[in-house]
Chain A
């Protein structure tokens, strides 16, 4: 039986960036009507490869065939002409334009000299209907949800007659419900004969929706597999390059004395009206991971800011060991041994345009070991950074490249390296694995457990229950600025946590907890 000509064939694509080979002679075939997943860790070279196919980058070597014909794709305009569309991870939408304006931008239907808005809106509504996308052509982008915005991106490609659609990490920004809808949309598109490349590092999605999967590791193709003939663990192993344990070996140890004591902590909102934290009390002992569950926006941010000193405390007290931290400044608290892995690493954890080495000392540059008399000892900083990069396996082209050039996982590793190198007593980790791939998640979890075993107190705030179950010794739930209750990790179940997260207080001990 003869194979039909693949709609896209990449042959020996190589792309080098200063200090790194992003793609190393990659071969890939996309068949008509298939959903082909491109799997790899952050920084493996998936997005670079697809940027080449979409004409955003030029390959250093290699050939691209579209429908059997060799093509040079020198820009997105050419890619679009060849019927290739891309749904970017960071949407390319003009926020104060309407949905229809964004979609027709660049190939506007005309009436005389004007844009034919009637035709534009009509055509968008029609396409939206055909693929079950349900968007309002006249709505402004800034007024619609992220899931809707993504559909607008999809419509942009369809409007341009795309037959080949590239999705770059499409589920990274979506809610669970929106992910389900997107999966259905992908199936619809494939059923209509569109060929789809799905870039992702999420195994579940690949198993659910793709026909074939190509695994990329460090710029090289490891394998191409038929999805129905493989398994999550096989894919994970190929992606990371070694066996991945989904279970952690929890070492049960008796925790030490209470390191952090939070007593009747009360914080008022910025408008000084309502209490955003109300009478919050808990303690974390040395060698213990204390998990805090709860729906986003129930006081987690305020709690972290109150503990780190970013937000004034209106009532109650915070003690580290036996030192009162309540009125201490941010720096005093850091010096006393409070470290933080912030929720948004790019906004609050790093200065993206600073060098890696500079980022490594952001919280310690005032130490005498990094300089005296107002001058920074570059050599000491470089040595320190080089050591941390090595020790924490931060993959970077060097310690003098900007932090921006690192992948998300490696940026997170850099923060963890910096904070743990200060040997803190208390580590506050907020969503420490958000947006990371399996390998990086495993790394973060291991490091947190190691810190715990070294006797540090850890406050783990996460919106993912699985993570809390896996890591915590005790789990408390916060709702509307109040602690709803606290459970040992053995007593935890979804139902109890779910009730508390919805605002029900835990029944007193002896009742529900037996």
Chain B
């Protein structure tokens, strides 16, 4: 094994882990930029991962073959949107406490998905292993570039989507009228309201995009890294995505950097296993690594200077000045 090739593998594997985090964090970004805290990203990702597994499994049985994971991805998106609708109705229309709704969504998603898995798979705690999941695509020409080809251009379709997603979100938020309005609603809804922008509408859009992306993120986990769904498929990646969103200061490129960092932490635990010296490190420590890192980053490196959208967390009440 030579170092260059190891490094290329590490980056490649990092980006695979990063993919789900990018979708999750970008989902959180849209919601919070519109002024709604979305602690429920974890639950939406769980829903997406579950729906993807089930839909792909049925599609396989129905003989769709290589189209199955695409149907799974679509199912993940639909499921994510449906769960986010719950948050939108509760937090925007009914003005419920956003943190509480988010926590409820997380608990609900974890419980319902496991319950359904047990019903569908006769009491088993996880789904069958899927056979028609995504495989890596090597992009002609580009994948032949030394190092970069192996690191960047021989990967899953979902990861390619994540590549596109980052600049797309950045453009949408910072260059278009839609983005300007969405951000204004998250910063000062009173200002938006008095120039005739429908605050409720934009917050719904923000939250639903959030569900769409988180659902995709969950589906990406099932269809690339795990290959099936169980209670531990998502296991906190939604929260790591939120941490990445904060660490990335609510900007798409910042989020990309932060998710890469956390993705690397996950990839490293598999990477170190390749080396002999890692035999003495207990497995648990390696698995803890991404979460400990999340804590450290949020508590330390980020500090107090981090400020999210000014109006995030508050239901808009036009009568309060």
Contact = CB atoms under 8 A, between A and B. Distances in A.
Given A76-B195, A105-B181, A106-B195, 4 more contacts: A95-B187, A106-B181, A106-B196, A115-B180
B191 A92 contact: yes
A357 B79 CA distance: 50
A54 B318 CA distance: 13
A160 B194 CA distance: 12
B187 A115 contact: no
Interface in B177-218: 177, 180-181, 183-184, 187-188, 190-197
B196 A93 contact: no
Q: List the 8 closest A-B pairs by CB distance, nearest first.
A: A77-B196, A106-B195, A92-B191, A108-B177, A94-B187, A114-B175, A94-B188, A92-B194
B197 A106 contact: yes
B176 A105 contact: no
Interface string A92-125: 1111110001100111101001110000000000
B138 interface: no
Nearest to A101: B180
A108 B182 CA distance: 13
Contacts of A108: 177, 180
A76 B194 contact: yes
B177 A115 contact: yes
Interface residues of A, number: 27
A56 B318 contact: yes
Contact of B194 (A86, A101, A115): A86
Contacts of A94: 183-184, 187-188, 191
A436 B191 CA distance: 26
A156 interface: yes
A114 B176 contact: yes
B195 A105 contact: yes
A77 B197 CA distance: 8
A88 interface: yes
Contacts of A243: none
Nearest to A56: B318
A273 to B, nearest CB: 22
Contact of A106 (B190, B192, B321): B192
A95 B191 CA distance: 10
A110 B192 CA distance: 18
A76 B196 contact: yes
A114 B170 CA distance: 12
A77 B196 CA distance: 4
B310 interface: yes
Given A76-B193, A80-B195, A105-B180, A96 B175 contact: no
A95 B177 CA distance: 17
B148 to A, nearest CB: 30
Size bracket of the B interface = 20 to 34
A510 B187 CA distance: 61
Contacts of B194: 54, 56, 76, 86, 88, 92
A180 interface: no
A198 B114 CA distance: 63
Given A110-B177, A115-B175, A115-B180, A96 B195 contact: no
B184 A97 contact: yes
Interface in A169-205: none
Contacts of A110: 177
Contacts of A101: 180
Contacts of A400: none
Contacts of B188: 92-95
B252 to A, nearest CB: 16
Contacts of A156: 195
A75 interface: yes
B33 to A, nearest CB: 12
Contacts of A114: 171, 175-176
A97 B187 contact: yes
8 contacts: A54-B194, A76-B195, A77-B196, A88-B194, A94-B191, A102-B191, A105-B197, A108-B177
A214 B14 CA distance: 70
A206 B191 CA distance: 28
Contacts of B195: 76, 80, 92, 105-107, 156, 160
B174 to A, nearest CB: 9
A148 B177 CA distance: 24
B274 to A, nearest CB: 46
Contacts of B196: 75-77, 80, 106
A274 B150 CA distance: 61
A108 B179 CA distance: 11
A56 B180 CA distance: 23
A331 interface: no
Contact of B187 (A76, A77, A96): A96
A90 interface: yes
Nearest to B188: A94
Nearest to B175: A114
Contacts of A95: 187-188, 310
B190 A92 contact: yes
A370 B253 CA distance: 58
A198 to B, nearest CB: 19
Contacts of A54: 194
Interface string B155-176: 0000000000000000100011
Contacts of B197: 105-106
Nearest to A115: B177
A107 B318 CA distance: 21
Interface in A56-88: 56, 75-77, 80, 86, 88
A309 B291 CA distance: 45
A396 to B, nearest CB: 17
Interface centre among A92, A101, A108 (most CB of B within 10 A): A92
B191 A105 contact: yes
Contacts of B175: 114-115
A88 B184 CA distance: 17
A77 B195 CA distance: 6
B171 to A, nearest CB: 8
Interface in B267-321: 310, 318, 321
A102 B194 CA distance: 12
Nearest to B177: A108
